[in-house]
Amino acid sequence: MEKSWYLFPLTLCTALLIFTGVSRLSHRLSTSGPPDEMANAVLLFHGLMDNYKTMEIMAGKIERDFPGTYTHSIKLYPDRLSLISLPVQSENLIKYIEKLNLHGPITFIGHSQGALVGRHALQNWDNHNITKFISLAGPHMGVTKVPPIKGSIGLGGYENFLNDTIAEICYNAAGQEISLCNLWNDPTKQTMYKKNNKFLSSSLCQTQRKKCKGQSDNLLKIEKMVLIGGPQDGTVYPFESTLFGYFDKNWSIVPRQNQTFYKDLGLKKLDKSNRIVECIKEGVEHVQFAFNDDVYNDCVKPHIG
């Protein structure tokens, strides 16, 4: 019986791999850039299983409150295409922004997975002109542990079984072709994580150390990093991942200041120069960070312009 349980997630994984492989071939960049003389720009990137229309809500608020500011909701990887591997998304995000031909300072706003892809892109983009990076519930340390399903009484060890299954699927070359697996960071399987999840671990200077200096230099070019999250997120687990905090092997939260990469990635310098701003919002669920009025007014608006 136990073996049969593995057939569903493995079949699902295979189907997603086929889908993303086909999607890579059919996907094309779509841009509609502003005139070259535009001085200030705000780019917004959606999260997993979402699309540019969601971020247009916040774009509209910015245009209302900051007349003359150019906004653009990025039209990459909508809906199921967001399952394409994050290294591919990051590479094409750079190309997409370059095609916009923006010469002035850019404020980048990413929601959820879009924030993580955005950070990875700017860390690996030597000539970027992103001056402000605003992360809306971005899982910068990844996610772990399947949250309990309401009404799942009687399912016994369901959550633990799924967690073990996901680790087996994600921590191999095939699994890493899916964005969900690029996010998986099991604190009890760090050897497997660092060996197989190159996207997330290298973006945190935990592996591929030769790339770390360049990534840090590019990250330190920004004037401000705004990290937005909240304990009622419900999707990013733990929510402290939005602040570069995470579980240790004993499931205790380690804040970013005590993470091994804190200095190497450049976060320590950003903190020391008061360039990291945290905005914690109570009572906001994960999807709501993209359009919640309080999130915009308290956490985003003060850092635009």
pLDDT value at residue 168 = 86
pLDDT value at residue 305 = 77
Sheet arrangement for strand 106-111: 70-73, 41-45, 106-111, 130-136, 224-229, 276-280
pLDDT value at residue 21 = 46
* Count of other CB atoms within 10 angstroms of residue 253: 14
The SS3 call for residue 246 is: strand
> DSSP secondary structure string, 105-136?
-EEEEEETHHHHHHHHHHHT-TT--EEEEEEE
**Are the C-beta atoms of 229 and 239 separated by less than 8 Å?**
yes
Which residues, in sequence order, are CB contacts of 163 under 8 Å at separation 6+?
Answer: 144, 145, 146, 186
Give which of 113, 90, 93 is closest to 43, Cα–Cα. 93
The SS3 call for residue 280 is: strand
Residue 256, both tokens:
């970013």
pLDDT value at residue 37 = 52
Mean pLDDT per 10-residue interval, the chain, length 305 residues:
39 45 41 55 97 97 95 97 97 97 95 98 97 98 70 51 80 94 94 95 94 96 98 96 97 96 97 98 97 98 93
pLDDT value at residue 167 = 85
**β-bridge pairing 130-136 and 106-111:** parallel
The SS3 call for residue 84 is: strand
Going from the C-alpha of 79 to that of each of 12, 86, 290, the distances in angstroms are 17, 14, 15
pTM for this entry: 0.86
